Amino acid sequence: MGQQGQHLGRAAGGTVTPTSSAALRRANLSLVLRHLRDHVSRSRADIAEATGLHRATVSNLVAELLDRQLVREVGVEHVGAVGRPRRPVALHGAHVGALGLEINVDYISVHGSDLSGRILVERRIGFDTMGSGPDRSLHRLGTVAREAIETMRSAGADPAGIGVAVPALVDVARGVVTFAPNLNWHNLPLAARLSATLGSPNVPVMVDNDANLAAVAEYTSGVAAGTPHLVYLTGEVGVGGGIIVDGRLLRGADGFSGEVGHLPVDPAGARCGCGRRGCWETKVGLAALVRTAMPQQAYTPAGLPVSDPEERAKEISRGLVEGDRHMMYAVAQVGRWLGLGGSIVVNLFNTRVIVVGGYFATLAEWLLPHAQEELERLVVAGAAAQCRFTASNLGFGAASRGAASMVVNQLIDDPTTIMDSIPRPPVH
Amino acid sequence: MGQQGQHLGRAAGGTVTPTSSAALRRANLSLVLRHLRDHVSRSRADIAEATGLHRATVSNLVAELLDRQLVREVGVEHVGAVGRPRRPVALHGAHVGALGLEINVDYISVHGSDLSGRILVERRIGFDTMGSGPDRSLHRLGTVAREAIETMRSAGADPAGIGVAVPALVDVARGVVTFAPNLNWHNLPLAARLSATLGSPNVPVMVDNDANLAAVAEYTSGVAAGTPHLVYLTGEVGVGGGIIVDGRLLRGADGFSGEVGHLPVDPAGARCGCGRRGCWETKVGLAALVRTAMPQQAYTPAGLPVSDPEERAKEISRGLVEGDRHMMYAVAQVGRWLGLGGSIVVNLFNTRVIVVGGYFATLAEWLLPHAQEELERLVVAGAAAQCRFTASNLGFGAASRGAASMVVNQLIDDPTTIMDSIPRPPVH
| Single residue among A59, A91, A123 that ends a domain in this structure | A91
CA distance A155 to chain B (A): 23
- What CATH number has the domain bearing residue A304? 3.30.420.40
CA distance A34 to chain B (A): 7
Which chain A residues contact residue B266 at CB under 8 A? Answer: 266-267
Of chain A, the end-to-end C-alpha distance in Å amounts to: 52
Q: Which of A40-49, A63-72, B299-308 has the lowest mean pLDDT?
A: B299-308
pLDDT in tens, A220-246: 999 999 999 999 999 988 899 999 999
Determine, for residues A8 and B244 on separate chains, whether the beta-carbon distance falls below 8 Å: yes
pLDDT in tens, A351-376: 999 999 999 999 999 999 999 999 99
CA distance A226 to B171: 23
Residue A422 lies in a domain: no
| Single residue among B73, B91, B109 that ends a domain in this structure | B91
B407, B100 Cβ separation under 8 angstroms: yes
Minimal Cβ distance to B1: which of A351, A377, A410: A410
Residue of B nearest to A40 (CA): B12
Determine, for residues A261 and B380 on separate chains, whether the beta-carbon distance falls below 8 Å: yes
B163: which strand partners? B100, B206
- What CATH number has the domain bearing residue A29? 1.10.10.10
pLDDT of residue A253: 92
pLDDT of residue B337: 98
B271 and B168: one domain?
A: no
pLDDT of residue A134: 96
Interface test with B, best of A37, A171, A349 (most B CBs within 10 A): A349
pLDDT in tens, A163-187: 999 999 999 999 999 989 889 999 9
Which chain B residues contact residue A168 at CB under 8 A? Answer: none
A402 and A374: one domain?
A: no
Which chain A residues contact residue B376 at CB under 8 A? Answer: none
| Single residue among A91, A119, A140 that ends a domain in this structure | A91
Determine, for residues A38 and B243 on separate chains, whether the beta-carbon distance falls below 8 Å: no
Residue B365 lies in a domain: yes
pLDDT of residue B329: 95
Minimal Cβ distance to A27: which of B4, B52, B386: B52
Helices (H), B232-363: 281-284, 286-293, 309-321, 325-349, 358-362
Determine, for residues A253 and B219 on separate chains, whether the beta-carbon distance falls below 8 Å: no
Residue of B nearest to A339 (CA): B264
Q: B258: left (phi > 0), else alpha (psi -120 to 50), else beta?
A: left
What is the percent of chain A with per-residue pLDDT over 90, rounded to a whole number? 64
Interface test with A, best of B219, B259, B333 (most A CBs within 10 A): B259
B320 and B196: one domain?
A: no
Determine, for residues A1 and B347 on separate chains, whether the beta-carbon distance falls below 8 Å: no
Helix axes B325-349, A325-349, angle to 10 degrees: 90
B261 and B337: one domain?
A: yes
CA distance B228 to B226: 6
Minimal Cβ distance to A226: which of B11, B246, B349: B11
A282 and A369: one domain?
A: yes
Q: Going by C-beta distance under 8 Å and a sequence separation of 6 or more, which residues neighbour residue A418?
A: A68, A70, A93, A96, A115, A160, A411
Determine, for residues B173 and A248 on separate chains, whether the beta-carbon distance falls below 8 Å: no
Residue A423 lies in a domain: no
Minimal Cβ distance to B381: which of A51, A254, A352: A254
CA distance A365 to chain B (A): 25
Instruction: Count how many residues are written for chain A.
Output: 428
Q: How many domains does chain A have?
A: 3
Among A377, A303, A318, which residue's Cα sits nearest to residue A342?
A: A377
Residue of A nearest to B31 (CA): A7
A230 and A205: one domain?
A: no
Determine, for residues A268 and B264 on separate chains, whether the beta-carbon distance falls below 8 Å: no
CA distance B303 to chain A (A): 18
pLDDT of residue A85: 57
Residue of A nearest to B217 (CA): A10
Among B30, B55, B31, B33, which residue's Cα sits nearest to residue B44?
A: B55
Residue B7 lies in a domain: no
Helices (H), A187-324: 190-198, 210-221, 281-284, 286-293, 295-298, 309-321
B350, B386 Cβ separation under 8 angstroms: no
Residue-by-residue pLDDT tens, chain B, 428 positions: 334 445 565 543 333 333 467 777 888 899 999 899 888 889 999 898 888 888 888 999 999 999 989 999 997 665 555 555 568 999 998 899 999 999 998 899 999 999 998 999 999 999 999 899 999 999 999 999 999 999 999 999 999 999 999 999 999 999 999 989 889 999 999 999 999 999 988 899 999 999 999 999 999 999 999 999 999 999 988 899 999 999 999 999 988 899 999 999 999 999 998 899 999 999 999 989 998 888 766 555 444 456 677 788 899 999 999 999 999 999 999 999 999 999 999 999 999 999 999 999 999 999 999 999 999 999 988 877 789 999 999 988 899 999 999 999 999 988 887 887 655 666 55
Mean pLDDT is highest, among A198-202, A256-260, B77-81, B236-240, for A256-260
Residue A360 lies in a domain: yes
- Provide the 8-state DSSP code for A85: P
pLDDT of residue A182: 82
B403 and B299: one domain?
A: no
Whether the pLDDT of residue A289 is over 90: the answer is yes
Determine, for residues A9 and B34 on separate chains, whether the beta-carbon distance falls below 8 Å: yes
Residue B50 lies in a domain: yes
CA distance A15 to chain B (A): 9
Which chain B residues contact residue A412 at CB under 8 A? Answer: 9
Using DSSP bridges, classify how beta strands A353-356 and A388-391 pair: parallel, antiparallel or unpaired. parallel
B207, B192 Cβ separation under 8 angstroms: no
Residue of B nearest to A3 (CA): B410
Print burial letters for A104-120: b (CB count within 10 Å at least 16), e (below 16). bbbbbbbbbbbbbbeeb
Determine, for residues B380 and A219 on separate chains, whether the beta-carbon distance falls below 8 Å: no
Residue of A nearest to B1 (CA): A173
CA distance A108 to A422: 28
Which chain B residues contact residue A219 at CB under 8 A? Answer: 8, 10
Determine, for residues B348 and A248 on separate chains, whether the beta-carbon distance falls below 8 Å: no
CA distance B321 to chain A (A): 31
Beta strands in A83-204 (DSSP E): 89-91, 96-103, 107-114, 119-126, 158-166, 169-171, 176-180, 185-188
Which chain B residues contact residue A266 at CB under 8 A? Answer: 266-267
Residue of B nearest to A262 (CA): B380
A253 and A288: one domain?
A: yes
Interface confidence (ipTM) of the complex:
0.85
pLDDT of residue A406: 94
Backbone φ, ψ for residue A178 (5° rounding): -70, -50
CA distance B282 to chain A (A): 14
Interface test with B, best of A26, A336, A347 (most B CBs within 10 A): A347
At B381, which amino acid appears?
A
Among A297, A318, A321, A319, which residue's Cα sits nearest to residue A309?
A: A297
Minimal Cβ distance to B5: which of A2, A219, A248: A248
Whether the pLDDT of residue A106 is over 70: the answer is yes
pLDDT of residue A137: 97
Which chain B residues contact residue A252 at CB under 8 A? Answer: 229, 245, 349-351, 385
Determine, for residues B387 and A39 on separate chains, whether the beta-carbon distance falls below 8 Å: no
Minimal Cβ distance to A10: which of B9, B226, B350: B226
Sheet arrangement for strand A388-391: A248-249, A241-245, A230-233, A353-356, A388-391
Determine, for residues B173 and A1 on separate chains, whether the beta-carbon distance falls below 8 Å: yes
The C-alpha torsion from A225 through A229 and A235 to A236, rounded to 10°, is 100
A78 and A118: one domain?
A: no
A248 and A115: one domain?
A: no
The domain of B129 spans 96-214+398-421
Residue B5 lies in a domain: no
B110: which strand partners? B101, B123
Q: Going by C-beta distance under 8 Å and a sequence separation of 6 or more, which residues neighbour residue B405?
A: A8, A9, B98, B100, B117, B213, B216, B217, B220, B221
CA distance B200 to chain A (A): 17
Minimal Cβ distance to A9: which of B204, B251, B409: B409
Determine, for residues A39 and B18 on separate chains, whether the beta-carbon distance falls below 8 Å: no
B292 and B345: one domain?
A: yes
Interface test with A, best of B113, B239, B245 (most A CBs within 10 A): B245
CA distance A321 to chain B (A): 31
Whether the pLDDT of residue A15 is over 50: the answer is no
Q: What is the mean pLDDT of residues A206-214?
A: 96
Which pairs with CB-CB distance under 8 Å and at least 24 residues apart come from A335-338?
A335/A366, A335/A367, A335/A368, A335/A369, A335/A370, A335/A371, A335/A374, A336/A370, A336/A371, A336/A373, A336/A374, A337/A265, A337/A280, A337/A283, A337/A284, A337/A288, A337/A374, A338/A284, A338/A367, A338/A368, A338/A370, A338/A371, A338/A374, A338/A389
CA distance A68 to chain B (A): 21
Residue A138 lies in a domain: yes
A325 and A283: one domain?
A: yes
Residue of A nearest to B221 (CA): A11
Determine, for residues A249 and B221 on separate chains, whether the beta-carbon distance falls below 8 Å: no
Minimal Cβ distance to A413: which of B6, B13, B24: B6
What rounded mean pLDDT belongs to chain A?
Answer: 88
Which chain A residues contact residue B54 at CB under 8 A? Answer: none
Determine, for residues B350 and A252 on separate chains, whether the beta-carbon distance falls below 8 Å: yes
